[in-house]
Structure formats: C-alpha cells, structure tokens
Structure 1
Amino acid sequence: MRDEQDTVGRKSELAANLATVERRIAAACAAAGRKREEVTLIVVTKTYPASDVRLLHELGVRQVAENRDQDAAPKAAACEDLSLTWHFVGQLQTNKVRSVASYADVVQSVDRAKLVSALSAAAVRTEREVGCLLQVALDAESGERGARGGVAPDGIEELAAAVAGAPGLRLDGLMTVAPLAGRYAGRQRAAFDRLLELASRLRADHPAANMVSAGMSADLEDAVAAGATHVRVGTAVLGVRPRLG
C-alpha cells in the first residue's frame, strides 16, 4: 500500500500526464477540424495497480482498459464501487470469456466466430449486455488472423453479422492495432485511414456500430486525424510500464 505522501505525489504525476495527453488530443482535433468531444480517451491501466485506477477516477477518467484477465478481474473487483467503463483489449481465449464477461463493458478484441459464441453464452448467463468491437488485422490475408490477433478485412461482414445476431452482445464498431508487418507497417496514418473506410462500410449495414478505436500513446494524433472515435493511451498517462517477468 502506498502511504499518503506517495499517493499525493502519484496523483499529481497522473494529473500532469493527463493534462499533457488532453492537450495533444485537443490539438489533434483542432488540426483535423473535429470537435474535442468527438474523441474519447480510454486509459490503458494494464500492469498498474487498482490504486492508480482509483486516482484516475478522482481525476475524471471514466474509461479504462485491460488486456489480461488475470490482472483485470481482481482490479475490476477492487474498483467495483466506481463509475467506470471497462474495456478488454487483449487477445481473448475462450476459457477466459466467462470471467471477462462478468466485468468488461466492451470487448475490443472480437476476431472469430468461436469467441462470439462463447461471449454470447457468458453474457446471457451473467445477464449483462457486452459491447463488441471487431479487431481488424490489417496485416492479415484473406481467412487469416493477424500476428497480434484480429480478423482479416474480408472477414468483417460475416463476423459482424454473427455478433449482431448473438444474444447478450452489442455490435459497437471496429478496433485495430497499427501493424508491425505488411503494407501498413510504419504507416500508422494509412492504416487508420483504411480502418475508417472499413468502419464506414460496416455502418452501412449496422448504423449503430459507430465506434472506431485506434491509436495509442505514440500515434494518437494519426488516429484522430483519420477519424477515430476512441484512443487507447497507457504509457503517456501512467508512465513506462514495469517489465513483466
């Protein structure tokens, strides 16, 4: 547990980092001719303690993200008294679905039919509605999954229909992680532009699926310029992550 002095110091550190990120998002919105309220900040709290989540809530953060159920489940339980929207952003194995569906409001990494079925069953069992983003792998060929998870672009339509028809699930939109290989490697803006094209196509059949999650600490400006509705920022708010053993 932190002592009071440490907590005050950590809160001021987080406040300063949040202010810097806020200025970056505001400047990116202004440069793109967008209103600031069109972009939602999700703070990625992976590897950081529940105490940081509580401090972030005190500082006005309402959307947080985790990528490992074994870390996220106890953290969400420790913060269940707070008004927070929890996003799950990591690759998700079906054996973790029941746990994730108990606390995640949105799963941003839906990338295969088997996962849709498992999430649907878990959501119905827990009597919760779980929002789903299809993770798009811009480095994947037809029928493949990406190196960091995700469905190939030509698989979006079929997977979206599966989510839209699944009890307990809500199709919210698309997510991507800037690929490390393939034609979009090192070309974040081009990758995010492509995601927005795919998102526009999705909305033609599913008008309510209007969430586009893209961009992280290093490339949030490119994501805002492309039209992302949500950016996922961890390091720029919480600091360089501890190395996982």
Structure 2
Amino acid sequence: MSSERRAELAANLEGVRERIGRACAAAGRDAGDVTLVAVTKFFPASDVDLLAELGVGAVGENRDQEASAKVLELAHRDDLEVHFVGQLQSKKAGSVAGYADVVQSLDRPKLVDALDRAAERHGRRLAVLVQVGLDESQGRGGVAPADALALADAAARADHLDLRGVMAVAPLGADAAPAFARLREVARGIQDRHPQATWISAGMSGDLEQAIAHGATHLRVGTAILGSRQSHQ
C-alpha cells in the first residue's frame, strides 16, 4: 500500500507543480519564488513522510490536537517546516508555539500576546502571518483589511515573533481574483512599514493560479495533492 500511495502522491504532486509552473510563466514570475505548503490535515503522518521523500519541505495543519500528535510521530524529520493554518484559540497558543515554525492565522491582538509569551516559554522564535478576512459573512477568521496594519505593527513589536507577511482565504463561491488583488494591496501597505513582511499566503487547490497572478509567495494545497479525505479513511 505504501508504494501505491507514494505513486499516487508523486503523480498528484507533479500535476500541482506543473500548474504552478504554468501560472508563474503566465505571470512572468519565477516558480522558484513560490513555496508549496502541502496541507496534510486529516491525513496520517505516513503521508507526510512520503511527501517529504518527494521533496515537499512545508506542511500545513489546522487542528492542534491532530497536529501535535503528528509532529511527535515525525520527530525523525528535521527537514519539514510546520505551518499552523487554522483558526487558533488563545488557550492553544502554548501548544502550537511548541511545534509550529509558522502560524499563518494571526487575527487579533490577544493572540499576538499569547503566542509571544508561549514562544518565550519554549525558548524559540515563531514566524507569523496576519490573516486578513476577505469575506465577513464566511466566519473563516481574519482581521478586517483596514485593521491589518495595526495588527502587523503589534506582531512586529513582539519580542519572540517574526512578522513575515499576510494570509487569506478567498471567499467561497466567488471569483478569487478580486479578493487576492485586495490582499496584495494590504500586503503592500504592511511591507511599506515592515519590509521583511514579504510573504503572501493565498491560493489553494482550486484557485492557485489566481493567487499566483496576484503575487502569492505561498500556496496552501491539500486536496489536489492528497486527494479527498473520505477516500483515505
């Protein structure tokens, strides 16, 4: 089964990388400037192991209980960057700061303080992205675009956090391009004050091309690489 799964993941990964290459060519960008984050939530550590063997260097998780257990199983891996991409409760900050390299879902000042304290306790620095809400009706988290710079300022002042940029999820059932264009505007405003905040995490399995066209540096791709969760339960 492992060899079959490896072949399936390899084929899917090749297809996604080809899509990224075509989209970058169309946008006049270097594909090497785009980082693929394989979203492995709901999938076993064995899949993460296989993806690492296939050259994936970053994985995304969105539930602390699942992610913390999976990271323990992958303790032998020192070549993986772990991104926490889900909405995060402040009370979970202590756990997440212990294993995540990046928290992409920073969406409120209270979480800045919680993550900063937790990173200090763990004796490490934590990279963070400001999650920008692009659709108020979706309840998917994120700070309002107008408030994103103030939150970025707070993250930049934190002693144990490294502000890297912004993240957003495109509104469901709508053309993603306008949302990603808005995110790029917000990102530029933050970069004007914080030049190191160059990351734009946007784009998933269904809209990665639009994200690349609007400057995404990081793509969070799950289904297109790992398949549907139901088919592997």
Q: TM-score, normalised by structure 1?
A: 0.92
Query: Hey, what's the Cα distance between the residues in 2 that align with 1:56 and 1:114?
Result: 34
* Stretches of structure 2 lacking an aligned partner (at least 5 in a row): none
Query: Hey, what's the Cα distance between the residues in 1 that align with 2:118 and 2:223?
Result: 31
Aligned with 1:231: secondary structure?
Answer: strand
Among residues 125, 130, 146, which one is paired with 2:126 in the alignment?
A: 130
Query: Is 1:72–2:67 an aligned residue pair?
Result: yes
Tell me how far 1:197 sits from its aligned partner. Answer: 1.0
Aligned-residue Cα RMSD (Å) equals 1.4
Corresponding position of 1:200: 188
- Opposite residue 187 of structure 2, the aligned amino acid is A
Percent identity, please.
Answer: 55
Tell me how far 1:242 sits from its aligned partner. Answer: 2.5
Aligned with 1:232: secondary structure?
Answer: strand
Corresponding position of 2:152: 160
Corresponding position of 2:164: 172
Aligned with 1:242: secondary structure?
Answer: helix
Corresponding position of 1:147: 139
Tell me how far 1:146 sits from its aligned partner. Answer: 6.2
- Opposite residue 84 of structure 1, the aligned amino acid is L
**Of Structure 1 and Structure 2, which has the larger fraction of its residues in helix?**
2
* Stretches of structure 1 lacking an aligned partner (at least 5 in a row): 1-5
| Conserved? CA contact 2:119–2:126, under 8 Å | yes
Corresponding position of 2:202: 214
Write the deviation string for residues 142-168 of structure 1: whole angstroms up to 9, x where unpaired: xxx961000001111111111011111
Write the deviation string for residues 30-54 of structure 1: whole angstroms up to 9, x where unpaired: 0111111111100000000000000
Tell me how far 1:179 sits from its aligned partner. Answer: 1.7
- Opposite residue 60 of structure 2, the aligned amino acid is A
Aligned with 2:147: secondary structure?
Answer: helix
Query: Is 1:231–2:219 an aligned residue pair?
Result: yes
Tell me how far 1:80 sits from its aligned partner. Answer: 2.0
Aligned with 2:42: secondary structure?
Answer: coil
| 1:1-16 matched pairs, under 5 angstroms | 6-16=1-11
- Opposite residue 62 of structure 2, the aligned amino acid is N
- Opposite residue 79 of structure 1, the aligned amino acid is L
Query: Is 1:29–2:24 an aligned residue pair?
Result: yes
Q: TM-score, normalised by structure 2?
A: 0.96
Query: Hey, what's the Cα distance between the residues in 1 that align with 2:148 and 2:93?
Result: 21
Among residues 56, 81, 84, which one is paired with 1:88 in the alignment?
A: 84
Number of residue pairs matched? Answer: 231
- Opposite residue 167 of structure 2, the aligned amino acid is M
